[in-house]
């Protein structure tokens, strides 16, 4: 019987397992640090600096690298393109999970969500646990060096109400969405305040903002209210091969790009405020996302779900306009931002590493995981190299397109593929494979020849050596960092998602991300 996360963390078995992880994981990947191991009161190393820069971390919610500077041909993103021209733009950045809460739990700690027990989307409030030491929220490390930390969001009279309450554009949504407990400076909120203007005079700040409008929902509706001349013509889109060529699919994809254009304006206004406040010349700007969007992207381990934009602007203009093609990982963002401030967490506190560290080895691979999504139970693990992607499906009898309230109510293309499959309508082979009633145990894709990941090479003899190599990488990663092996009680899942027990009458509708 698998121990619960609480039991694991409080038994001698945990201590032994974690100690073994430290040595094993350091040998496993050139792209990761030693595994977190228990300790007490960890403190970062604080390098002496004449002046510590501010750090502004922008997350565009549910957004892939669909900007002009990344080669998206139809969308207009002048502000993002300008930012990229002043920055280092990473062309191969990937998150650790293709969904909000699991990915954010890794982004804000520098630790794999599978290691900290934060892998399910979401962890219900009554099941959340503190992070295992020495892992900590990013804000804790910044605070130790005297930084003021803030999660940008309107407050009081400026806070929106109604169905668009979280759609505050460059004012920020205030979203946290962590699958772990925090208690400092207050329960459930690791940030000191809601705006950098609240800090003490001369105090450096770490500011985080989530811009929600690229997330499915009211932001997409708002995007369609932009001038018609700025909207994407759905008929001009080149759809991925796993999309049915149907007006519904074209409209959904175009609407997403409209939302990217909308948020581009918000990013421009936010950066203009930084200039107006006289802070741009001492602020590192990091712009990224939590995961990718759309059908067969969000919630899945294909590149469309894992690839994220990553743009880093230094106040001194170093490396402006350059493109870094190394594999960058979600767990790398926290140590990279801390390093910008001269901070180094204790050994073993993070799996990621500083992307700008001198003489850093070129990463050879990155990992990712899919676990429960709302009420849809699943378990997948993946590794990606510069050329190949390997995915392991632990529940091959469970289809990719198993029922999911959130998907059914918010993703028209998802429902379209289901309807076309049920009707026996001819669809692209790639869409039909995703709608199959089972999954293969293993998937292997040559990303150079097959960037959309639609030709599974796992059974092709010529690729057997690659299959074995990547299979071994996943084996080691799972052995050393994965606590996602125990499945949850289905009654608890229902209660957490629906806010009631199965026999109780529904008070409202599920299927909406909160």
Q: Quick check: 372 pLDDT over 70?
A: yes
CA atoms within 13 A on the CB side of 377: 14
- Residue 23: inside a domain, yes or no? no
**SS3 at position 178:** coil
Looking at residue 218, which CATH number applies to its domain? Answer: 3.40.720.10
Domain final position from 303, 335, 357: 357
| Cα distance between residue 206 and residue 136, in whole Å | 15
Identify the residue with better confidence: 375 or 41. 375
Q: Quick check: 27 pLDDT over 60?
A: no
Based on the fold, state whether residues 69 and 165 are members of the same structural domain.
yes
Based on the fold, state whether residues 404 and 314 are members of the same structural domain.
no
- Per-residue pLDDT reduced to its tens digit, 141-174: 999 999 999 999 988 655 555 555 668 999 999 9
Based on the fold, state whether residues 99 and 196 are members of the same structural domain.
yes
Q: Quick check: 117 pLDDT over 90?
A: yes
- Provide the pLDDT for residue 513: 53
Q: Percentage of residues in the chain with pLDDT exceeding 70?
A: 88
- Across all residues in the chain, what is the average pLDDT? 90
Based on the fold, state whether residues 291 and 439 are members of the same structural domain.
no
| Cα distance between residue 463 and residue 233, in whole Å | 40
Q: Contact 115/480 with Cβ under 8 angstroms?
A: no
Domain final position from 322, 357, 392: 357
- Residue 5: inside a domain, yes or no? no
Q: Quick check: 234 pLDDT over 50?
A: yes
- Provide the pLDDT for residue 166: 67
- Residue 252: inside a domain, yes or no? yes
Which structural domain, as residue segments, surrounds residue 483?
Answer: 371-497
Q: Which two tokens stand for residue 304?
A: 């469309």
- Mean pLDDT of the region 110-123: 96
CA atoms within 13 A on the CB side of 353: 21
| Cα distance between residue 367 and residue 384, in whole Å | 6
Q: Which two tokens stand for residue 285?
A: 């700007």
Based on the fold, state whether residues 275 and 377 are members of the same structural domain.
no
- Per-residue pLDDT reduced to its tens digit, 259-269: 999 999 999 99
Based on the fold, state whether residues 215 and 83 are members of the same structural domain.
yes
- Provide the pLDDT for residue 49: 92
Based on the fold, state whether residues 491 and 347 are members of the same structural domain.
no
Backbone angles phi and psi of 444, in degrees to 5: -140, 130
Q: Which residue has the tokens 């393109």?
A: 81
- Provide the pLDDT for residue 486: 78
Residue 344: pLDDT band by 50, 70, 90 thresholds? Answer: very high
Based on the fold, state whether residues 492 and 388 are members of the same structural domain.
yes
Q: Which two tokens stand for residue 164?
A: 């668009």
- Per-residue pLDDT reduced to its tens digit, 175-223: 999 999 999 999 999 999 999 999 999 999 999 999 999 999 999 999 9
- Residue 123: inside a domain, yes or no? yes
- Per-residue pLDDT reduced to its tens digit, 303-340: 999 999 999 999 999 999 999 999 999 999 999 999 99
- Residue 34: inside a domain, yes or no? no
- Residue 3: inside a domain, yes or no? no
- Per-residue pLDDT reduced to its tens digit, 437-447: 999 999 999 99
β-sheet bridge partners, residue 93: 308, 328
- Residue 108: inside a domain, yes or no? yes
Q: Quick check: 6 pLDDT over 50?
A: no
Q: Which residue has the tokens 């405020």?
A: 273
Based on the fold, state whether residues 348 and 400 are members of the same structural domain.
no
Residue 440 CB-density burial (10 A; 0-12 exposed, 13-18 middle, 19+ buried): middle
- Per-residue pLDDT reduced to its tens digit, 428-474: 889 999 999 999 999 999 999 999 999 999 999 999 999 999 999 99
* Torsion angle, alpha carbons of 213, 215, 218, 224, to 10: 70
Q: Contact 369/102 with Cβ under 8 angstroms?
A: yes
Most confidently modeled range among 121-125, 166-170, 486-490:
121-125
Q: Quick check: 388 pLDDT over 90?
A: yes
Based on the fold, state whether residues 451 and 339 are members of the same structural domain.
no
- Provide the pLDDT for residue 18: 33
Based on the fold, state whether residues 389 and 350 are members of the same structural domain.
no
| Cα distance between residue 59 and residue 288, in whole Å | 5
Query: What is the DSSP code string of 296-365?
Result: TTTTSSSHHHHEEEEEEE-TT-TTTTEEEEEEEEGGGHHHHHHHHTTEEPPTTS-S---TT-TTPPPP--
Q: Percentage of residues in the chain with pLDDT exceeding 90?
A: 84
Total of domains in the chain:
2
Domain final position from 333, 357, 381: 357
Based on the fold, state whether residues 421 and 292 are members of the same structural domain.
no
- Residue 481: inside a domain, yes or no? yes
């Amino acid at each position: 019987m698998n121990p619960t996360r609480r039991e694991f963390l409080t038994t001698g078995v945990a201590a032994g397992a974690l100690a073994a992880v430290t040595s094993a994981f350091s040998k496993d990947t050139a792209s990761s640090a030693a595994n977190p191991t228990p300790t007490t009161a960890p403190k970062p190393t604080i390098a002496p600096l004449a002046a510590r820069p501010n750090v502004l971390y922008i997350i565009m919610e549910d957004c892939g690298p669909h900007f002009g500077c990344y080669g998206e041909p139809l969308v207009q993103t002048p502000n993002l393109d300008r930012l990229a021209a002043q920055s280092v733009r990473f062309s191969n950045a990937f998150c650790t999970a293709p969904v909000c809460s699991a990915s954010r739990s890794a982004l804000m700690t520098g630790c794999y969500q599978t290691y900290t027990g934060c892998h399910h989307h979401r962890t219900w409030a009554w099941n959340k646990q503190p992070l295992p030491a020495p892992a900590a929220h990013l804000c804790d490390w910044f605070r130790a060096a005297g930084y003021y930390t803030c999660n940008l969001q309107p407050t009081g009279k400026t806070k929106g109400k109604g169905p668009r309450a979280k759609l505050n554009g460059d004012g920020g949504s205030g979203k946290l969405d962590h699958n772990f407990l925090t208690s400092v400076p207050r329960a459930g909120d690791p940030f000191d305040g809601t705006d950098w203007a609240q800090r003490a005079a001369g105090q450096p700040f770490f500011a985080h903002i989530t811009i929600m409008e690229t997330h499915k929902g009211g932001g997409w509706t708002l995007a369609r209210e932009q001038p018609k001349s700025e909207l994407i013509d759905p008929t001009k889109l080149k759809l991925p091969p796993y999309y049915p060529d149907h007006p519904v699919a074209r409209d959904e994809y175009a609407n997403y790009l409209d939302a990217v254009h909308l948020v581009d304006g918000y990013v421009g206004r936010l950066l203009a405020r930084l200039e107006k406040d006289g802070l741009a010349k001492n602020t590192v700007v990091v712009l990224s996302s939590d995961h990718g969007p759309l059908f067969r992207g969000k919630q899945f381990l294909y590149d469309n779900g894992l690839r994220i934009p990553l743009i880093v602007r230094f106040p001194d203009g170093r490396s402006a306009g350059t493109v870094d093609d190394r594999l960058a990982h979600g767990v790398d963002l926290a140590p990279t931002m801390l390093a910008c401030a001269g901070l180094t967490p204790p050994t073993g506190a993070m799996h990621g590493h500083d992307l700008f560290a001198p003489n850093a080895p070129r990463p050879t691979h990155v990992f990712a995981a899919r676990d429960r999504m709302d009420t849809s139970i699943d378990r997948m693990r993946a590794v990606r190299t510069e050329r190949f992607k390997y995915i392991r499906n632990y529940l091959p009898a469970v289809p990719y397109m198993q029922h999911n309230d959130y998907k059914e109510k918010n993703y028209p293309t998802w429902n379209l593929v289901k309807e076309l499959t049920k009707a026996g309508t001819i669809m692209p082979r790639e869409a039909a494979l995703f709608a199959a009633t089972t999954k293969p145990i293993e998937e292997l894709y040559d990303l150079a020849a097959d960037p959309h990941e639609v030709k599974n090479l796992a059974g092709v003899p010529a690729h057997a050596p690659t299959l074995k190599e990547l299979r071994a990488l996943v084996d080691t990663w799972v052995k050393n960092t994965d606590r996602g092996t125990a499945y949850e009680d289905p009654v608890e899942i229902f209660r957490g998602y629906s806010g009631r027990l199965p026999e109780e009458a529904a008070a409202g509708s599920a299927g909406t991300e909160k």
